[in-house]
Amino acid sequence: MKHLKHALFVILAIFLTITCHAGRPVAGIIAEAHPSLAPMLQKVMETVVNISVRGEIPAANLQAQGKQRIQNNSRFNPRFEDLGSGVIIDAEHGYIVTNAHVIKDAQAITVTLSNGRSIRAKVIGYDAPSDIAVIQIKANRLKNANFGDSDKLKVGDFVCAIGNPFGLQQTVTSGVISGLERSELGVEGFENFIQTDASINPGSSGGALVNMSGELIGINTAIIAPVPVNIGIGLAIPSNMVKSITEQLIKYGRVRRGVMGVMVQNITPALAEAMNLQHPGEGALISEVIEGSPAATAGLKSKDVIIKIMDKPVHSSTQIRNVASLLSIGSKVDLQVRRGNKLITLQPIIADPDNLKKVAQEAPTTLLSGLGLKSFNLLIDNKQIKGVEVLYVADGSVAHSCGLIPGDIILTATNQPVTTINELQTIANKNNKQLLLEVKRGLSGNIFLVLEE
């Protein structure tokens, strides 16, 4: 017991030292003998809700998502009940942000407030590629969270995660920001995650990640672990992305993504050497500029290296896609490009995907409608990759709602290899109700998606 008291004293002393030298005020922490986050959390926890859903999942979806092995019987749609979390972002109108995967396929959604009151909710809209959804409740005396600026976050910042893990309502965990701009993990279509060691577990999805001022700086969405429990690697969607997506979902019921018309890729050391690039660790390489696209009109060329987008240094091709996806149609994209030894500033305008229909073959079938496609055949890491590349995905299409994104390479359809658009369309015509696709997405490996009406 004596040793235990000594250990507790040392831990408390270290915590007080960190608190006193944090370099900036920590809202709500009382600098007394027992420092606490309670004053800050008491205000924030009122904005976090618990979500329970009931519904049915098509059998093929379970197979594709790897949730469990079931027999492929079209008459068998397993019922499910699930738990998640959400954050009130508009108290006046009752808007709540959560993860798309929490409410997808749900037939009934119940929101439980911090005071224990339960209310039925309706879906305003969801965006599968970003895994963000907005639901709405009708209730009085709600309090909403205040958005923080996720662009200002730094590794080492203290954070708290609030949610409903395993049904344990209003659970708070704490930690630090372990990393920023995590991408190419194969978790979602648009990845720009905040990494934290604040414990996130099943049921925490859609919950709040807040800073020490009580500001919402992320929505907890996933963990990386060999088993579905936390091992200290949690992922949250940055608040700036959340704010942009939720504004569109509330206004349009969907996300209206535009296009620049470029294909970009990461610059590997081997690629930099082969192309004699003078700054190998910088930017992302343009592998193709689509004819007639905004990028072509602005003067971008194949083999250009984008080193800045919207005045932010570029570290990966995923970063370019993420930033561009948050810009509204008609917006200018500020790019700094290295062409040989020259630095060039260009401003392509984000355009509607329909502008690419003149140069990309439009798939005519119902399940593939709204997709711009072209055949793909390229040597990647000494391996020949053949398939059908997705150039654009129209908003509101089946492909959009099921999670296909520009840059995906469709490798197989219903377990049959596809190397041309005609092959893909032929298979789709024979499977016009449901289509299982194997897709290569960036460096994250292959994933399975189900297209169905």
Interval 439-449: pLDDT, tens: 887 655 678 88
Answer yes or no: do 338 and 410 share one domain.
no
The domain boundary, picked from 199, 230, 252, lies at: 252
Answer yes or no: do 242 and 154 share one domain.
yes
pLDDT at 32: 52
Answer yes or no: do 290 and 204 share one domain.
no
Answer yes or no: do 301 and 379 share one domain.
no
305, part of any domain: yes
144, part of any domain: no
Helix (H), strand (E), coil (C) string for the chain: CHHHHHHHHHHHHHHHHHHHCCCCCCCCCCCCCCCCCHHHHHHHHHHEEEEEEEEECCHHHHHHHCCCCCCCCCCCCCEEEEEEEEEEEECCCCEEEECHHHHCCEEEEEEECCCCCEEEEEEEEEECCCCEEEEECCCCCCCCCCECCHHHCCCCCEEEEEECHHHCCCEEEEEEEEEEEECCCCCCCCCCEEEECCCCCCCCCCCEEECCCCCEEEEEEEECCCCCCCCCCEEEEEHHHHHHHHHHHHHHCCCCCCECCEEEEECCHHHHHHCCCCCCCCCEEEEEECCCCHHHHHCCCCCCEEEEECCEECCCHHHHHHHHHCCCCCCECCEEEEECCEEEEECCECECHHHHCCCCEECCCCCCCCEEEEEEEEEECCEEEEEEEEEEECCCCHHHHHCCCCCCEEEEECCEECCCHHHHHHHHHHCCCEEEEEEECCCCCEEEEEEEC
Answer yes or no: do 125 and 53 share one domain.
yes
State the first-to-last Cα distance of the chain, in angstroms, to the nearest integer. Answer: 64
Cβ(195)–Cβ(221) below 8 Å: no
Taking residues 7-23, what's their average pLDDT?
Answer: 41
pLDDT at 75: 43
Total domains present in the chain: 5
57, part of any domain: yes
**pTM of the predicted model as reported, rounded to 2 decimal places:** 0.67
Answer yes or no: do 243 and 174 share one domain.
yes
Which residue, among 273, 414, 291, 304, has the nearest Cα to 356 in the 3D structure? Answer: 291
**Out of 204-208, 338-342, 359-363, 405-409, which region has the weakest mean confidence (pLDDT)?**
359-363
Answer yes or no: do 315 and 370 share one domain.
no
Reported as a pLDDT band with limits 50, 70 and 90, residue 354 is low
Answer yes or no: do 170 and 204 share one domain.
yes
Answer yes or no: do 278 and 300 share one domain.
yes
pLDDT at 58: 60
In the annotation, is 101 catalytic? yes
Q: Residue 264: which region, alpha, beta or left (left: phi > 0; alpha: psi -120 to 50)?
A: beta
194, part of any domain: yes
141, part of any domain: no
The pLDDT tens digits for 232-274 are 888 999 999 999 999 999 998 888 777 888 878 888 787 777 7
Q: pLDDT averaged over the chain?
A: 80
Answer yes or no: do 248 and 174 share one domain.
yes
Active-site hit among 52, 183, 204, 205: 205
421, part of any domain: yes
The domain boundary, picked from 305, 333, 353, lies at: 353
Domain of 157: which CATH number? 2.40.10.10
Answer yes or no: do 155 and 242 share one domain.
yes
Domain region containing 325 = 262-353
pLDDT at 79: 75
User: How many other C-beta atoms are found inside a 10 Å radius of the C-beta of residue 446?
Assistant: 12
Domain of 272: which CATH number? 2.30.42.10
Cβ(127)–Cβ(255) below 8 Å: yes
371, part of any domain: yes
The domain boundary, picked from 136, 158, 189, lies at: 136
The pLDDT tens digits for 62-117 are 544 443 333 333 344 567 788 999 999 999 999 999 999 899 888 899 999 999 99
176, part of any domain: yes
Active-site hit among 101, 239, 316, 400: 101
